[in-house]
């Protein structure tokens, strides 16, 4: 009904369901190729193999597989020098894998054009079929195309396409090549489903699906227990979040009777603003977001997730999946804007996470770990944005972050690729290709990567005119503005007035910005500047990665540089006419505009002069951070990892990530296992139920039987006595009765 009347119904947008379907087809093709390559069917009678010994073939296969997989673990720095054999289906996969992404991106662009010309604020809903029709619960398999999902689709397909292309080079020698692309395509499918879902349930399908793909890709080189552990950890921690998501859905359904975004947007007002129900819904939703987007207390999985291939870290654990939480808050802005307490929680959690992760980032040696903590920190910024009700600012940072963090990750991937190749060529298996202490001075060997990564670093540090400056500044500005006057400032979180909370958030944000500038500069200095520490033998083998990898880097470099153009603030456009003001904010207006207004309330906007002051302050902090790092850190004083002495004091606390993993393990994981094993299993199940109740009743029956059997002495005399006694008693009873 709605979809017929919608102006988009006649355009290319009606093929929106092809968007996720195309990557799904890619997954099916690549998955099938992977299976075909692996298929070596077993004997008709499996147990017969035991009796006939091992055939020669049976020996061959695992050997080859083992060799191949170990080679695949090269990324983790444990490369084996063997003959590089490309997968036999690699050419087809190289076409199919990135090809579907190109198609999807093209379709996304076309849809975007159609949407721009249609200029309809109402979301376009494309219902495919009725999925769960039960009583008054109607869940359709439906896709929703609106401003927010369109932006996300463009980011996912665009960045996804670049990363797929990069992967062609990065993963070229991996024996699991088709499997890799199958997983990657599947991830894109689920991610598109997540952002396109027209109700919470379809979003949840994508939500869990991306978690699944993340699990599979983190554990891609599963032969290493650490990788498999990391994958499992990611999935389980995400599931804790999913618990929150599910409970939020149950609450929504039992109070509003629907799970469709459109219907909820209409009826959300029925829930009393600031009431316990809507607050509970939002807090539970945020638990889900915290899991997916690695916020305190559920951030622990993301650093471990770096065990996956580096392009995966770029796509899933930096650019797209981890930002799903931010997307979900923005998507649920109609609810969050009604729950100031929940919004304050979101903002505060984001700010604390941003600062906390930044401190850890200061002392990491693994280049990917630095970036991982930087991602956690930046996600914190985004949550500050959506938490203070500046939804478009949060999404804006999401986009720019996708640009520069993807660039950073792919750049680091390039570096690792080069490092690994150098070690591989020199038969060096001991040194870690990801440790910055083994790098240094790479500028002269990989100038393009060096330049592009500096762009990204300046962007993330918030130096104008790079993209990160605009988005980060907008978030901090919004936090400051909300503290001055909004529904949030009027509310209170655990007895603390909202405006104090918001000022705290703003200060934390600034502090985190300083730390960000420091640790990113540190990373750049240690990696690219100073003397080279790779080793004399390996040094001549260091070189720039092939063009299939550098090409996507260039594109991302341009985006990181110019991404700010998407949403120029008024203060800037006043100074110089770079382009239209607040494009993204206007674009997202139909989705989050109302909620933003509701949060901002009647608060007075911050004066332009104050705003200029704030911007100046932020820029000063970024520059100060970079300066501090350049002044204090001496790359020339570093020694290679193998020669480094263990760190002490606060430094070791930071290096060990504040011992959060260990604390969780001791406080939650191990007690749960111990409780399950000793109390529930051996205590209740085996002890109480089986031994006492089940076997106990059997023993009681046996005991009664034993008593009975003792009467059967076999002595006729005893029987006679008993018989007579019985007769006497019977007669007695009879006589008494008569």
For other proteins, the closer CB: 68 or 160:
68
Q: Which two tokens stand for residue 25?
A: 């087809």
Question: Residue 712 interacts with other proteins (CB under 8 A)?
Answer: yes
For other proteins, the closer CB: 547 or 719:
719
For other proteins, the closer CB: 79 or 413:
79
Q: Nearest to residue 409, comparing CAs of 238, 549, 229? A: 549
Piece in contact with other proteins (CB under 8 A), picked from 103-111, 475-483, 587-595, 717-725: 717-725
> Could you give the CA distance from residue 288 to residue 276 in angstroms, rounded to a whole number?
18
Among positions 219, 308, 309, 464, the unique one binding other proteins when judged by CB under 8 A: 219
Question: Residue 59 interacts with other proteins (CB under 8 A)?
Answer: yes
Q: State in angstroms the smallest separation of the CB of 139 from other proteins.
A: 9
Question: Residue 707 interacts with other proteins (CB under 8 A)?
Answer: no
Piece in contact with other proteins (CB under 8 A), picked from 7-15, 206-214, 353-361, 538-546: 206-214
For other proteins, the closer CB: 47 or 648:
47
Contact 31, 181 (CB under 8 A): no
> Beta-carbon neighbour count of residue 387 at 10 Å?
34
Query: Residues 112-151 vs other proteins: string with x where CB under 8 A?
Result: -----------------xxxxxxxxx---x----------
Q: Which two tokens stand for residue 473?
A: 């500044």
Using CA atoms, how far residue 373 sits from 397, 421, 468, 474, 516, in Å, is 17, 26, 17, 22, 10
Q: Where are the alpha helices (DSSP H) in 542-607?
A: 547-562, 570-575, 583-600
For other proteins, the closer CB: 245 or 519:
245
For other proteins, the closer CB: 122 or 693:
693
Three state DSSP letters for 459-497: HHHCCCCCHHHHHHHHHHHHHHHHHHCCHHHHCEECCEE
Piece in contact with other proteins (CB under 8 A), picked from 42-50, 327-335, 582-590, 602-610: 42-50
Strands 492-493 and 124-134: unpaired
> Could you give the CA distance from residue 541 to residue 306 in angstroms, rounded to a whole number?
25
Q: In this structure, what is the dihedral angle of CA atoms 517, 519, 523, 529, given to the nearest 10 degrees?
A: 60
Tokens 């505060």 appear where? 348
Question: Residue 276 interacts with other proteins (CB under 8 A)?
Answer: no
Query: Residues 163-202 vs other proteins: string with x where CB under 8 A?
Result: --------------------------------------x-
What does the DSSP assignment read for 341-375? HHHHHHHHHHHHHHHHHHHHHTT--BHHHHHHHHH
- Give every CB contact of residue 257 below 8 A, 6+ residues apart in sequence: 136
> Could you give the CA distance from residue 454 to residue 560 in angstroms, rounded to a whole number?
10
Piece in contact with other proteins (CB under 8 A), picked from 514-522, 551-559, 655-663, 683-691: 683-691
> Could you give the CA distance from residue 308 to residue 342 in angstroms, rounded to a whole number?
34
For other proteins, the closer CB: 245 or 381:
245
Question: Residue 732 interacts with other proteins (CB under 8 A)?
Answer: yes
Q: Which two tokens stand for residue 278?
A: 């809507």
Among positions 2, 35, 607, 667, the unique one binding other proteins when judged by CB under 8 A: 35
> Could you give the CA distance from residue 477 to residue 668 in angstroms, rounded to a whole number?
38
Q: State in angstroms the smallest separation of the CB of 723 from other proteins.
A: 9
R_g of the chain computed on alpha carbons: 31
Among positions 15, 547, 659, 681, the unique one binding other proteins when judged by CB under 8 A: 681
Question: Residue 731 interacts with other proteins (CB under 8 A)?
Answer: yes
Q: State in angstroms the smallest separation of the CB of 684 from other proteins.
A: 8
Q: State in angstroms the smallest separation of the CB of 216 from other proteins.
A: 8
Query: Which of the residues 468 through 527 are near other proteins (CB under 8 A)?
Result: none
Number of residues this chain uses to bind other proteins (CB under 8 A): 94
Question: Residue 716 interacts with other proteins (CB under 8 A)?
Answer: yes
Q: State in angstroms the smallest separation of the CB of 725 from other proteins.
A: 7
> Could you give the CA distance from residue 238 to residue 230 in angstroms, rounded to a whole number?
12
Q: State in angstroms the smallest separation of the CB of 259 from other proteins.
A: 9
Piece in contact with other proteins (CB under 8 A), picked from 303-311, 336-344, 345-353, 673-681: 673-681
Among positions 62, 646, 649, 708, the unique one binding other proteins when judged by CB under 8 A: 62
Q: Nearest to residue 471, comparing CAs of 585, 575, 374? A: 585
State whether residue 551 is helix, strand or coil.
helix
Query: Which of the residues 63 through 82 are near other proteins (CB under 8 A)?
Result: 63, 65-66, 69
> Could you give the CA distance from residue 661 to residue 237 in angstroms, rounded to a whole number?
12
What does the DSSP assignment read for 400-415? HHHHHHHHHHHHHHHH
Q: Which two tokens stand for residue 447?
A: 């100038």
Piece in contact with other proteins (CB under 8 A), picked from 218-226, 342-350, 415-423, 640-648: 218-226
Query: Which of the residues 420 through 479 are near other proteins (CB under 8 A)?
Result: none
Contact 529, 522 (CB under 8 A): no
Among positions 269, 673, 705, 726, the unique one binding other proteins when judged by CB under 8 A: 673
Contact 601, 486 (CB under 8 A): yes
Question: Residue 17 interacts with other proteins (CB under 8 A)?
Answer: no
Question: Residue 690 interacts with other proteins (CB under 8 A)?
Answer: yes
Among positions 228, 273, 558, 571, the unique one binding other proteins when judged by CB under 8 A: 228
- Give every CB contact of residue 152 below 8 A, 6+ residues apart in sequence: 195, 327
Question: Residue 223 interacts with other proteins (CB under 8 A)?
Answer: yes
Query: Which of the residues 230 through 269 are near other proteins (CB under 8 A)?
Result: 231-232, 235-236, 239-240, 242-243, 246-247, 249-251, 253-254
For other proteins, the closer CB: 620 or 724:
724
Contact 283, 345 (CB under 8 A): yes
């Amino acid at each position: 009904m709605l979809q017929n009347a919608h102006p988009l119904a006649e355009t290319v947008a009606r093929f929106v369901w092809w968007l996720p379907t195309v990557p799904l087809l890619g997954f099916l093709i690549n998955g099938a190729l992977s299976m075909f390559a692996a298929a070596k069917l077993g004997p008709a009678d499996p147990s017969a193999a035991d009796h006939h010994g091992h055939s020669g073939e049976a020996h061959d296969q695992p050997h080859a597989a083992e060799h191949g997989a170990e080679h695949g673990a090269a990324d983790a720095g444990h490369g084996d020098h063997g003959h590089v054999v490309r997968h036999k289906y690699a050419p087809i996969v190289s076409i199919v894998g990135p090809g579907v992404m190109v198609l999807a991106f093209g379709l996304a662009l076309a849809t975007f054009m159609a949407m721009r010309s249609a200029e309809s604020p109402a979301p376009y809903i494309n219902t495919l079929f009725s999925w769960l029709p039960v009583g008054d619960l109607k869940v359709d398999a439906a896709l929703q195309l609106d401003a927010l999902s369109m932006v996300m689709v463009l980011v996912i397909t665009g960045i996804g396409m670049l990363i797929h292309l990069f992967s062609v080079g990065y993963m070229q020698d991996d024996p699991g090549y088709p499997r890799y692309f199958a997983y990657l395509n599947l991830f894109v499918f689920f991610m598109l489903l997540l952002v396109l879902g027209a109700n919470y349930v379809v979003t949840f399908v994508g939500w869990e699906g991306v978690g699944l793909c993340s699990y599979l890709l983190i554990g891609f080189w599963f032969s290493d227990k650490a990788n498999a552990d990391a994958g499992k950890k990611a999935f389980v921690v995400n599931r804790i979040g999913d618990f929150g998501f599910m409970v939020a859905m149950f609450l929504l359904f039992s109070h509003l009777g629907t799970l469709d975004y459109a219907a909820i947007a209409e009826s959300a007002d029925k829930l009393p603003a600031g009431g316990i129900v809507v607050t509970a819904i939002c807090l539970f939703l945020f638990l889900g977001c915290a899991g997916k987007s690695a916020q305190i207390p559920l951030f622990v999985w993301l650093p471990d997730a770096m065990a996956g291939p580096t392009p995966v870290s770029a796509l899933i654990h930096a650019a797209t999946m981890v930002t799903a939480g931010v997307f979900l808050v923005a998507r649920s802005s109609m609810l969050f804007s009604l729950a100031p307490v929940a919004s304050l929680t979101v903002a505060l959690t984001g700010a604390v996470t941003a600062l906390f992760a930044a401190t850890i980032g200061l002392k990491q040696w693994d280049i990917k770990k630095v970036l991982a903590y930087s991602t956690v920190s930046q996600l914190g910024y985004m949550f500050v944005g959506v938490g203070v009700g500046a939804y478009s600012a949060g999404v804006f940072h999401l986009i720019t972050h996708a640009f520069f963090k993807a660039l950073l990750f792919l750049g680091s991937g390039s570096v690792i690729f080069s490092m690994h190749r150098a070690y591989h060529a020199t038969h060096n298996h001991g040194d870690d290709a990801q440790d910055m202490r083994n790098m240094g001075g790479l500028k002269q060997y990989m100038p393009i990567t060096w330049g592009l990564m500096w762009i990204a670093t300046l962007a993330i540090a918030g130096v104008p005119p790079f993209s990160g400056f605009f988005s980060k500044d907008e978030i901090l500005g919004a936090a400051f503005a909300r503290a001055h006057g909004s529904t949030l400032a009027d509310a209170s979180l655990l007895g603390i007035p909202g405006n104090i909370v918001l000022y705290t958030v703003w200060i934390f944000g600034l502090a985190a910005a300083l730390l960000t500038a420091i640790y990113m500069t540190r990373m750049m200095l240690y990696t690219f500047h100073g003397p080279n520490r790779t080793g004399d033998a390996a040094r001549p083998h260091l070189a720039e990665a092939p063009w299939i990898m550098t090409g996507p880097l260039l594109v991302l470099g341009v985006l990181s540089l110019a991404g700010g153009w998407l949403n120029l603030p008024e203060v800037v456009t006043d100074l110089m006419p770079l382009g239209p003001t607040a494009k993204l904010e206007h674009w997202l207006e139909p989705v989050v505009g109302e909620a933003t207004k509701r949060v901002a309330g009647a608060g007075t906007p911050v004066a332009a002069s104050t705003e200029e002051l704030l911007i100046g302050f932020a820029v000063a902090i970024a520059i100060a951070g970079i300066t501090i790092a350049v002044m204090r850190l001496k790359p020339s004083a570093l020694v290679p990892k193998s020669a480094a002495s263990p760190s002490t004091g606060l430094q070791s606390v930071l290096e060990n990530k504040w011992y959060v993993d260990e604390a969780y393990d001791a406080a939650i994981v191990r007690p749960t296992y111990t409780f399950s094993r000793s109390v529930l299993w051996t205590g209740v199940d085996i002890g109480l139920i089986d031994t006492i109740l089940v076997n106990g009743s059997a023993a009681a029956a046996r005991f009664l039987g034993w008593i009975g059997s003792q009467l059967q002495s076999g002595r006729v005399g005893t029987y006679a006595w008993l018989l007579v006694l019985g007769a006497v008693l019977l007669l007695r009873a009879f006589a008494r009765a008569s």
